[in-house]
């Protein structure tokens, strides 16, 4: 047997296994298996940086997995791999894709249009920073994910207003472009934009880093409501209070270069 057929066989076996899991476990939303990521710094002599050395994780509807570990452990890298921003160097990432022939999409190796469709309909991602779009109002930035799904613009704006009010963004700011907003105001616009479309899988990378305690509490409530709706959530939260408030499980990542190559899954306290 040559190398090509070996590779083809193992990937076919993996797809069959993935299909079984997503059909047999209706609550399974995301499965990461042995995900590895090495960055090659081409401009710096081709040095390789190993950021993830085999992370595995299943996430079901209603779960919120909190990633913990020291700075540089690969938490953001893992979330970006799950979102398809970074292509994993090895392993597999599958996300439920209802109605698709295999009931799931394998992110590593998926066509760009499939990734974009999944982002519109299934997977939301909220980073620490808002990507400001010049001259577009906060209200329209928040409403955009609904409009892109075909929701009527007035209805999308109404839902955006409800979320912005809940997140204590002052009404006078809604018609303005967020470029001049404070860090915390921008972050709340970003959270509203990330949560408005009620994605079934949510990836959150330190969404509360610039918020005061009161607004962190609002975000924790919104995350709880998303879980009750059945969202599957994976997130990083810099403060212990929010972690304890939202986690159903904790996944500890350790930097591969520090020698520990395993991620440990433990029950949340
Ligand atoms: N685009 C990139 N190119 C090269 N190296 C990268 C890139 N992104 C991340 N890394 C490296 O991967 C490792 C993990 O980084 P990552 O940002 O995932 O850590 P983190 O756990 O999110 O840390 P923090 O808690 O500080 O946010 C780091 O050593 C980082 O330098
Ligand atoms: Mg990070």
Q: Is residue 179 part of a domain?
A: no
> What local confidence, expressed as pLDDT, does residue 217 receive?
95
> What local confidence, expressed as pLDDT, does residue 99 receive?
84
Q: Is 51 in the pocket of ligand 1 (CB under 6 A)?
A: yes
CA of 257 to the centre of ligand 1 (A): 12
> What local confidence, expressed as pLDDT, does residue 257 receive?
59
pLDDT in tens, 84-107: 999 999 999 999 999 888 889 999
Q: Name the residue among 257, 210, 190, 231 with its Cα closest to residue 64.
A: 231
Nearest CA to ligand 1 atom 31: 72
User: Residue 204 pLDDT > 80, yes or no?
Assistant: yes
Counting other chains too, the contacts that 162-170 makes at CB distance below 8 Å and 24 or more residues apart are 163/192, 163/195, 163/196, 164/138, 164/139, 164/188, 164/189, 164/192, 166/218, 166/222, 167/191, 167/192, 167/215, 167/218, 167/219, 168/214, 168/215, 168/218, 169/138
pLDDT in tens, 25-34: 999 999 999 9
DSSP state of 228: H
Can you tell me the distance from the alpha carbon of 167 to that of 55, in angstroms, rounded to the nearest whole number? Answer: 34
Q: Is residue 54 part of a domain?
A: yes
Q: Is 210 in the pocket of ligand 1 (CB under 6 A)?
A: no
Q: Is residue 107 part of a domain?
A: yes
> What local confidence, expressed as pLDDT, does residue 246 receive?
96
Q: How confident is the model at residue 43 (pLDDT cuts 50, 70, 90)?
A: confident
β-pairing verdict for 249-252 and 232-236: unpaired
Q: Is residue 186 part of a domain?
A: no
- CATH number of domain containing 216: 3.40.50.300
Q: Is 44 in the pocket of ligand 1 (CB under 6 A)?
A: no
> What local confidence, expressed as pLDDT, does residue 189 receive?
96
Specify the number of domains making up the chain: 1
Q: Is residue 240 part of a domain?
A: yes
Q: Is residue 51 part of a domain?
A: yes
CA of 78 to the centre of ligand 1 (A): 9
Q: Is 75 in the pocket of ligand 1 (CB under 6 A)?
A: yes
> What local confidence, expressed as pLDDT, does residue 116 receive?
93
Q: Is residue 205 part of a domain?
A: yes
Q: Is 235 in the pocket of ligand 1 (CB under 6 A)?
A: no
Nearest CA to ligand 1 atom 8: 77
- Mean pLDDT on 14-22: 79
Residue showing tokens 């972690």: 243
Give the domain extent around 26: 3-122+199-267
Q: Is residue 193 part of a domain?
A: no
> What local confidence, expressed as pLDDT, does residue 128 receive?
85
């Amino acid at each position: 047997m040559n190398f090509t057929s070996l590779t083809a066989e193992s990937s076919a076996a993996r797809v069959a296994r993935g299909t079984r899991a997503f059909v047999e476990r209706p609550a399974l939303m995301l499965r990461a298996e042995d995900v590895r990521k090495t960055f090659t710094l081409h401009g710096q002599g081709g040095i390789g940086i190993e950021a993830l050395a085999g992370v595995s994780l299943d996430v079901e509807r209603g779960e919120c997995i909190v990633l913990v570990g020291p700075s540089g452990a690969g938490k953001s890298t893992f979330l970006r791999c799950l979102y398809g921003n970074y292509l994993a160097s090895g392993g597999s990432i599958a996300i439920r894709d209802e109605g698709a022939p295999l009931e799931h999409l394998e992110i590593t190796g998926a066509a760009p249009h499939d990734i974009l469709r999944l982002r519109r309909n299934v997977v939301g991602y909220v980073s620490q920073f808002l990507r400001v779009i010049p001259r577009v109002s906060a209200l329209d930035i928040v409403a955009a994910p609904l409009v892109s799904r075909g929701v009527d613009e007035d209805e999308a704006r109404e839902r955006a207003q409800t979320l912005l009010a809940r997140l204590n963004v002052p009404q006078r700011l809604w018609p303005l472009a967020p470029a001049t907003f404070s860090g915390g105001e921008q972050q709340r616009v970003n959270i509203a934009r990330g949560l408005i479309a009620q994605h079934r899988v949510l990836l959150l990378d330190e969404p509360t880093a610039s918020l005061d305690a009161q607004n962190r509490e609002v975000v924790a409530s919104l995350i709880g409501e998303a879980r009750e709706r059945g969202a599957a959530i994976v997130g990083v939260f810099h403060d212990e209070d929010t972690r304890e408030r939202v986690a159903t499980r904790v996944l500890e990542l350790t930097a591969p270069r520090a020698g520990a190559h395993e991620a440990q899954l433990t029950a949340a306290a």
